[in-house]
Amino acid sequence: MTDLLTPVAASSLAEEARDALGQRNLIFVGLMGAGKSVIGRMVAQALSVPFIDTDAEIEKVSRMSIAELFSAYGEAEFRALETRVIGRLLRGGPKVISTGGGAFINENTRRLIKEGGVSVWLKADLDVLWERVNKRDHRPLLKTENPKATLQNLMNQRYPIYSEADLTVPSGNVRKETMVTNVLSAVIGLAKKGQRE
């Protein structure tokens, strides 16, 4: 579905998706720049459920930026904190939760996410991601000599793991509103598939 919906069609799609979700959480996973935070927030608004971004929540509880956490404690400690925070956020639903790019790659966090709701991978190609992330330099994993090559390496390592998500929604050069429609349609499609099985 690529056309923009009329307001009435968009609200009935959102209602249907809200019913399909029930009490479950909707959890966005994918690489840096895929649109988890921005699309997640818009989907939560459409569904009228709370939205939480795990990177923002981690920064709130630690009172440090993600970059500061990486440099003070290292990636392993960051991942352990991320697992704890996400485990707590997954309790109770429905909510939309947008995770940091590496969250679903960690085995413990991935298990919690799989148990805690419906996961959606926003899948984008290298050029789309690069165009979105190269404007800012706050991402510690991309502070390398060749950040575009680093992003490509992360794609090679991570895409097979992100593909374990319940849903995959392509995140290309389409309008954000269209992304929201595509996510809601995918949630409805998953519920219908579940009913048929």
Taking residues 14 to 43 in sequence order and writing x for each that binds Mg ion by CB under 5 A, - otherwise, the string is ----------------------xx------
Residue 36 in contact with residue 113, Cβ under 8 Å? no
Q: Which residue in the set 155, 161, 174, 188 belongs to the binding site for ligand ATP (CB under 6 A)?
A: 174
CB burial readout 141-168, b (16+ within 10 A) else e:
ebeeeebeeebeebbeebeeebeebbbb
Of the two residues 14 and 179, which places its CB atom closer to ligand ATP in the complex?
Answer: 179
Taking residues 74 to 113 in sequence order and writing x for each that binds ligand ATP by CB under 6 A, - otherwise, the string is ------------------------x-xx------------
> Does 79 count as an annotated binding residue?
yes
* Pairing assessment for the beta strands 117-123 and 25-29 based on DSSP bridges: parallel
Taking residues 20 to 59 in sequence order and writing x for each that binds ligand SKM by CB under 6 A, - otherwise, the string is ------------x----------------------x----
Which one of ligand SKM, Mg ion, ligand ATP, none interacts with residue 176, CB within 5 to 8 A by kind? ligand ATP
Torsion, Cα of 8, 183, 53, 165 (10° steps): 160
Amino acid letter for position 35: G
Query: Rounded to whole angstroms, how far apart are CA atoms 169 and 182?
Result: 7
